[in-house]
Amino acid sequence: MAENIFMSSQHQSDRFEILDLLLWGRPLNEVLCKVCAQHEAAYPGHHCSILFADSLNHQLRGCVAPSLPPEFAQAVNPLPIALTGSCCGKAAALKEPVLADNLFESADLEPFFPILRQVGMSSCWSYPVLDSQKQLLGTFSVLRGQTGLPTREENEGIARAVDLTRLVLERQERLQTIRTLDSSYFSTQTSICFCDLRSPLMLIHQANDSLCQLLGGNPDGHPLGDFFPEREPFQALDRVSNRAITPARRFDGSEFHCEVNVLRVCDDYGEMTRLFLTFHDISERLANQAALAESEARFRRIFEEVPHVAVRGCSPDGKVRFWNRASEKLFGYTAEEAIGQALPRCGEAHYSSSNEYELYRKDGTLVPVFGTSVPLTTPGVGMEVYTLEIDLSQLKETERERIQLLQLLLQAQKMEALGQLTGGIAHDFNNILATILGNLELARLDPDPTLLEEIQVAAERARDLTQRMLSYSHPHPSSRTATPLLEPIREVCRILSAVIPSSIQLRLNLSELAPPAQLDPVELHQILANLVINARDELPEQGLIEVGLRYAELESLVCSSCLRPVEGPLVEVWVRDSGPGIPAEIRSRIFDPFFTTKGVGKGSGLGLAVLHRLVHERGGHVVVAPGPGAHFRVLLQPAPNSPAPPPTAANSGPAPNKIMVIDDEPMLARMLGKLLVSRGYQADVYTDSKLAWEAFTADPQAYAAVITDQTMPNKTGDVFAREALALRPDLPILLCTGFSERIDADAAHAIGIRFFFQKPVKPATLFEALAQVVPAPG
């Protein structure tokens, strides 16, 4: 009993000693070292260690351990707050004591074994130090040279040391907060001071540096009235009001506008003795407000007077609040008639939109406008919807005139193209008339019924030609019929051949497999006439014009006129020539209306502009391919539900029965293609070895075999075979030749050609050889 009383009195003495150190403002480490020394004096063999909590970095740091070597403090500074590792870190994480009776039996403590052996410590009892809100302040630990756990008496002593540590750390936190607030008070940019209400002059004291700078001197001891000559704003500060705006005067006599805010300070008896005042120079703010009001008035005058733009402001319920003069002119209502009213169609808000619509005038007529509306919220006014509208009546009328003019220009261009075809049409009619007259003469000599049939066929051909020309020359509504392009292309090229000099070759390269396209036949005539006549005009005395047709699985392309990506597959009609090509500096302008490189009177400059319009109206595109020569690729949408060639993929293996046929004699090439199709094969027919090579290199695996002629422009058959086998060594190639001094059967086999034939070749012989390399379709 006596011992407990002694311990209690000793604890009180220790506590007073610690409090005395705190009152004298001794350093934190000195006070905590004293806490450790007091406990170690009461319990010999105990070595104390105190760590501070660093919540931001989730660790313990700043070890205070006066009876342990400095190496120990360095080894445990810092320690992570975690459920594994050190006893202190675990106690901080759990916020519960962690007692280790034998440190060397814990695997978690293995990193600390060297320092523990060095300082001779074998057990550790760690306790968290928590504030009144159970927030972690740090840890208090006892290390001993012997193993074991604390006795009840030792636990009580440690609890008292932990309580003293909590007292010291809590007071340290409060002191730090006070210092921070005190530093903020004097360093803040807000001008502040206290005012003594016990003095009738309301003397200022404790002014901070910011207020001294604001007033141009230290106002401590000066009456408040020295700086605020108008007393009235302060009359209610000590009773009711918390804010006042008043003129203020600096030490040098200059004046400014000041906003004063007040916090009342009472003594222990509840009597208000002081005012805590904050001051803000609002001169700039008031000047800005005045400038803003002037700006608003100026812009309001602008909106009032701006011509041609009707500006109206409406409340959310549609009632007009603002109505400028242009609104009066547009709608017919005066401002006096409109303001306060919800006018027909005028109260509807097109929030944050820009579009065209129609509104009613006062006389009941509709006016087309383009308008944009924005909801605005103004302090003291609320939400308003302001709408700016432009009368589109004149613009609409101008657009109608423009469309009419465009239609006239298109018709004029069509007639220009028709004029280019006149020679070809006359040539056809002369041939038809010659046929009719010749057969009539023969009928007089011999009344053979077959002669009358020939006359009828010629007359029907003249009728069809006349109908096509009438359809072409007269305006007509365009249709979206599916048009097979093969025969119309042949027909228009046959007509065009009569207006092309004999020194210029017009060659066709048309695929039988191309599906119908979404293009009117008359539009096809106009497109081809423009491109072929342009090519003729750009060629010198001799040259080549090629017109082609195919079903195109397109690579990555960009339309040359609208600059959008081209998406396939599409039906491709191309026209290319062997001329000088299109100079790079004018390529971006060739589709502009009225742009032409031809001389005065030789071209209107509408041909390519019309081509652009016709093709894009059908969802197609135009690509100007790189030279040599001019090369126009017209890419058209296939007609809906039209059959397409079966898809092939690169490197997916050869198509089982797709044969490439190459022969520069169109009739022979077409005949061979038809024979292959009749036997169940697929056939890609080419009359130009260059185009065939482009198709082959695009997908070498697409063909099961190649049947090629030997003597051809661009690439001869043996050259084509040699280059194709370099890309695909397993490709079966069948070579046919009428006569060639450069290749025979032995030379062909040496290249890798499977079969060599001298023309003419019987179809049965050809198909027998083909069946050996490509199985005949079932």
User: Sorting pLDDT into bands at 50, 70 and 90, what band is 649?
Assistant: very low
- Segment 449-463 shows an average pLDDT of 71
Higher pLDDT, 420 or 742: 742
- Segment 271-286 shows an average pLDDT of 86
User: Sorting pLDDT into bands at 50, 70 and 90, what band is 419?
Assistant: low
User: Sorting pLDDT into bands at 50, 70 and 90, what band is 438?
Assistant: low
pLDDT computed for residue 146 by the predictor? 93
3-class secondary structure per residue, 688-754: CHHHHHHHHHHCHHHCCEEEEECCCCCCCHHHHHHHHHHHCCCCCEEEEECCCCCCCHHHHHHHCCC
**Strand extents, DSSP E, 240-365:** 243-249, 255-266, 272-281, 309-314, 320-323, 354-360
pLDDT computed for residue 7 by the predictor? 46
User: Sorting pLDDT into bands at 50, 70 and 90, what band is 750?
Assistant: confident
pLDDT computed for residue 161 by the predictor? 92
User: Sorting pLDDT into bands at 50, 70 and 90, what band is 556?
Assistant: confident
Instruction: Report pLDDT digits (tens) over 672-724.
Output: 888 888 888 888 989 888 888 888 887 888 899 999 988 887 788 898 998 89
pLDDT computed for residue 343 by the predictor? 67
pLDDT computed for residue 125 by the predictor? 94
CA pair distance 112, 123, nearest whole angstrom: 12
pLDDT computed for residue 6 by the predictor? 41
pLDDT computed for residue 751 by the predictor? 86
User: Sorting pLDDT into bands at 50, 70 and 90, what band is 1?
Assistant: very low
Q: Mean pLDDT over all residues of the chain?
A: 80
% of the chain at pLDDT higher than 90: 19
Higher pLDDT, 145 or 499: 145
User: Sorting pLDDT into bands at 50, 70 and 90, what band is 482?
Assistant: confident
Strand order in the sheet with 631-636: 504-510, 543-552, 570-577, 631-636, 621-625
387 touches 371 (CB < 8 A): yes
Lowest mean pLDDT among 153-162, 304-313, 508-517: 304-313
The torsion of the CA quartet 111, 117, 119, 124, rounded to 10 degrees, works out to 70
Per the DSSP assignment, residues forming a β-bridge with 360 are 366
pLDDT computed for residue 551 by the predictor? 85
User: Sorting pLDDT into bands at 50, 70 and 90, what band is 51?
Assistant: very high
pLDDT computed for residue 653 by the predictor? 46
- Segment 153-167 shows an average pLDDT of 91
Instruction: Report pLDDT digits (tens) over 578-597.
Output: 888 888 777 777 776 666 66
Higher pLDDT, 327 or 430: 327
**pLDDT greater than 90 at residue 97:** yes
**pLDDT greater than 60 at residue 476:** no
Sort residue 450 into left (φ over 0), alpha (ψ -120 to 50) or beta: alpha
Count of beta carbons in the 10 Å neighbourhood of residue 94: 13
CA pair distance 646, 551, nearest whole angstrom: 11
pLDDT computed for residue 463 by the predictor? 73
CA angle, corner 21, sides to 16 and 24, nearest 5? 120
pTM reported for the whole predicted model: 0.36
Burial 238-247 (b: 16+ CB within 10 A, else e): eeeeeebebe
Instruction: Report pLDDT digits (tens) over 24-34.
Output: 778 888 999 99
Return all residues near 646 (Cβ < 8 A) that are at least 6 apart: 655, 682
**pLDDT greater than 90 at residue 468:** no
Sort residue 216 into left (φ over 0), alpha (ψ -120 to 50) or beta: left
CA pair distance 164, 167, nearest whole angstrom: 5
- Sign of the CA dihedral 334, 340, 345, 348? positive
Strand order in the sheet with 243-249: 203-205, 191-196, 272-281, 255-266, 243-249
Higher pLDDT, 232 or 94: 94
User: Sorting pLDDT into bands at 50, 70 and 90, what band is 639?
Assistant: confident
pLDDT computed for residue 501 by the predictor? 79
Instruction: Report pLDDT digits (tens) over 370-401.
Output: 888 888 887 777 788 888 888 888 888 877 87
% of the chain at pLDDT higher than 70: 81
Lowest mean pLDDT among 124-128, 237-241, 255-259, 637-641: 237-241
The torsion of the CA quartet 96, 102, 107, 110, rounded to 10 degrees, works out to 100
Phi then psi for 93, rounded to 5 degrees? -70, -40
Strand order in the sheet with 366-378: 320-323, 309-314, 382-391, 366-378, 354-360
Instruction: Report pLDDT digits (tens) over 163-202.
Output: 999 988 888 877 776 665 555 555 567 888 888 888 888 8
pLDDT computed for residue 120 by the predictor? 92
CA pair distance 298, 398, nearest whole angstrom: 35
535 touches 579 (CB < 8 A): yes
**pLDDT greater than 80 at residue 147:** yes
Residue 44, both tokens: 């010999």
Lowest mean pLDDT among 23-37, 86-100, 290-304, 421-435: 421-435
Phi then psi for 481, rounded to 5 degrees? -75, 150
- Segment 753-767 shows an average pLDDT of 86
Residue 573, classed as helix, strand or coil, is strand
Q: How far is CA 79 from the centre of its chain?
A: 48
- Segment 528-536 shows an average pLDDT of 83
